[in-house]
Amino acid sequence: MSQYNLNLGRTRFGDTAHAGNLMSREDAHQLLGEWVSNERLRLHMKQVAALMKAWAVEKEGADDITAQAWELAGLLHDADWEKYPESHCKKIIEELERRQIDPAVIRCIASHGPKYFGVEPESKMDQMIYVFDELSGFIHAAALIRPAGYEGMDEKSVLKKLRTLSFAAQVNREDISDAISRIDKSLEEIIRFMLDHQKDVR
């Protein structure tokens, strides 16, 4: 993911007194506008946000506030990647702690790359952001080289690309396998869900 040592050196984030405190979508997008100029990176975060929200609602039966928390974690998980690559994850965590955001959201962001940040995904929200992160970017890369984009794309075509190690070589297949091993769903089922829910995100 990076040539920098990104280990956060802690596993507790935020203050439980701030549970339920969330940023509005407008404030979250304003932060992205200030920190992220790369349109592809912004699209990635929007896609992960859409996946997180959809999963929370459809698979976890989440209420509106919980779904918003999942969405916020997805939207901001890479917010500091472009501007502060040497402090990726640390900067956005510090910013959200300063804003007194729900610690579950902050911990979710901290756990989206356990090998890099040293934070194990524990909650279902943590686990799913880890599942969606690398795989979302990979699926989008596969769609970009298809004349019809996402149209007609299926699980088999994505799996074939995953086995082609020269394609999107920067995507860590081990991270994808590790993330899937932590949940009770198959890779094929996850890919199908992602194809259905990220294709229309702009």
pLDDT in tens, 138-188: 999 999 999 999 999 999 999 999 999 999 999 999 999 999 999 999 999
Q: Is 82 exposed, middle or buried (0-12, 13-18, 19+ CB in 10 A)?
A: middle
pLDDT above 70 (res 25): yes
Taking the chain, what is the end-to-end CA distance rounded to the nearest angstrom?
24
Percent of the chain scored above 90 by pLDDT? 98
In CATH, what is the architecture of 17-198?
A: Orthogonal Bundle (1.10)
pLDDT tens-digit readout, 102-143: 999 999 999 999 999 999 999 999 999 999 999 999 999 999
Region of residue 14 (phi > 0: left; psi between -120 and 50: alpha; otherwise: beta): left
pLDDT beyond 70 at 44:
yes
Contact 74, 126 (CB under 8 A): no
Q: Which two tokens stand for residue 93?
A: 């965590």
Name the one residue in this structure whose structure tokens are 């790369």. 38
Average pLDDT, the chain: 96
